Amino acid sequence: MVITKKDKKLILFILSSIIVFWFAFLTLSSLFAKISFHNSEVKSLTNHDAAWLNSARKIEASDLENRVILLDFWTYACVNCLHIMPEIKKLEAEFGDRLTVIGVHSGKFSNEKDTDSIKKAILKHDISHLIVNDADFKIWNSFAVSAWPTLILIDPKGNIIKKYQGEIAHSS
């Protein structure tokens, strides 16, 4: 079988087209992954002027991209919230930098909404992960939370994987 110059040009054109389409696909899929993340509920964490604690600065959506995130909706006056803190510390120790834990402090009473009171609770309970003061319940509402504690696991694209609400039963 003889391949003519015309056939070579056609094969080269087809291969070039495939390569161009492949790169276009990779670029667009990467773009859509970022759009997916920015359109997820995770953006509600960073779309307002809540106080961020255990951080030198306000956390931005870009800080959370491509991260596995565990949101812990808690308040320092909730005994059950405090009971799961050791479990969260175990997860932080086990997964290290592969897991970003964010405590969303959604205080029910006015004294629990005070950032200085939350700082004292962080020190008292030796909490080292990020905490955001959700005093106005914007984050709480955006994730449709209805109980303390609530844990929400989010994949790197910003999709909710699992949601646990209320007291979590411990097996002995």
Residue type, 3: I
pTM: 0.76
Of these ranges, 27-36, 39-48, 153-162, the one predicted with the greatest mean pLDDT is 153-162
Provide the pLDDT for residue 166: 84
Q: Please report, rounded to a whole number, the percentage of residues in the chain having pLDDT higher than 70.
A: 85
pLDDT for 16 beyond 90: no
| pLDDT tens digits along 112-165 | 999 999 999 999 999 999 999 999 999 999 999 999 999 999 988 888 899 999
pLDDT for 18 beyond 80: no
Please say whether the beta carbons of 73 and 152 come within 8 A. yes
- Average pLDDT score over residue span 14-25: 72
**Strand pairing partners for 151?**
72, 164
Provide the pLDDT for residue 26: 60
Provide the pLDDT for residue 20: 73
pLDDT for 58 beyond 70: yes
